[in-house]
């Protein structure tokens, strides 16, 4: 891979390098350890928007592969399909718990594997490196109820207001996290300060 400062693959990113530096003996020193991306999204397999059926495929993408192979169908692992008469909401954790227990074993203990090219055994470890979802899926994965907290990082630090006339949540005072010298449009700047 080229090292020209451009992000062509997650291995070029700061998160990948930071993780290798933080856990060198447990993970980073073994190039055969696997980094996964977890992807999920609700869909209706019947194409009827008014249907009450909901299906959530949970897919793992192997990030150790070259960029041109990461998203090829034969390298995407369909770990489970969660299907039911309604949206999952926060109940997704019930379905993901056995899967996460397996991932915990892969991180803590690993599994004994054989490297066919080297003709040797090694302990393979794996992590979920990143989750790829839309916002409703992210709120479900993080255990939020319909995204009322707005930000999966700030969680309790997010202020929201429910507008009963439009039946929508709006997030107020998000500019308070910015530096006071940050250039904002004048009316908003006056509201924040």
Secondary structure (H, E, C), the chain: CCCCCCCCCHHHCHHHHHHHHHCHHHHHCCCCCEEEEEEECCECCCCCCCCCCEEEEEEEEECCCCHHHHCCHHHEEEEEEEEECCCCHHHHHHHHHHHHHHHHHHHHCCEEEEECCCCEEEEECEEEEEEECCHHHHHHHCCCCCCCCCCCCCHHHCCEEEECCCCEEEECCHHHHCCCCCCCCHHHHHHHC
pLDDT at 146: 60
28-37: per-residue pLDDT in tens? 888 889 999 9
- Distance (Å, rounded) from C-alpha 16 to C-alpha 128? 12
Q: What is the band of 104 on the pLDDT scale with cuts at 50, 70, 90?
A: very high
- Distance (Å, rounded) from C-alpha 175 to C-alpha 182? 9
Q: Which residues, 6 or more positions from 122, have their beta carbon under 8 angstroms from its beta carbon?
A: 30, 32, 112, 113, 114, 115
Q: Which residues of 155-186 are buried (b: 16+ CB within 10 A; e: fewer)?
A: eeebeeeeeeeeeeeeeeeeeeeeeeeeeeee
- Distance (Å, rounded) from C-alpha 71 to C-alpha 63? 9
pLDDT over 80 at 184, yes or no? no
**CA separation, residue 50 to residues 46, 86, 91, 135 (Å):** 10, 11, 22, 21
2-21: per-residue pLDDT in tens? 667 677 778 878 888 888 88
pLDDT at 141: 74
- What are the domain boundaries of the chain? 10-145, 159-193
131-182: per-residue pLDDT in tens? 888 877 777 777 666 656 666 666 666 677 788 888 777 776 666 667 777 7
């Amino acid at each position: 891979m080229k090292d020209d400062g451009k992000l062509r693959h997650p291995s070029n990113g700061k998160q990948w390098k930071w993780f290798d530096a933080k856990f060198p003996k447990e993970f980073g020193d073994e190039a055969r350890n696997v980094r996964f991306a977890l992807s999920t999204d609700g869909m209706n397999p019947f194409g009827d928007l008014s249907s009450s059926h909901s299906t959530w495929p949970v897919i793992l993408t192997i990030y150790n592969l070259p960029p041109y192979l990461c998203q090829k169908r034969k390298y995407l692992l369909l770990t489970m399909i969660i299907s039911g008469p309604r949206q999952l909401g926060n109940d997704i954790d019930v379905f993901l718990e056995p899967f996460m227990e397996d991932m915990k074993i892969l991180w803590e203990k690993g599994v004994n594997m054989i490297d066919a090219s080297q003709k040797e055994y090694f302990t393979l470890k794996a992590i979920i490196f990143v989750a790829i979802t839309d916002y409703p899926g992210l709120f479900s994965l993080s255990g939020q109820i319909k995204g009322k907290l707005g930000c999966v990082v700030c969680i309790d630090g997010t202020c929201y207001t429910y507008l009963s006339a439009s039946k929508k949540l709006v997030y107020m005072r998000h500019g308070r996290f910015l530096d006071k010298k940050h250039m904002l449009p004048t009316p908003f700047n006056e509201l924040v300060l």
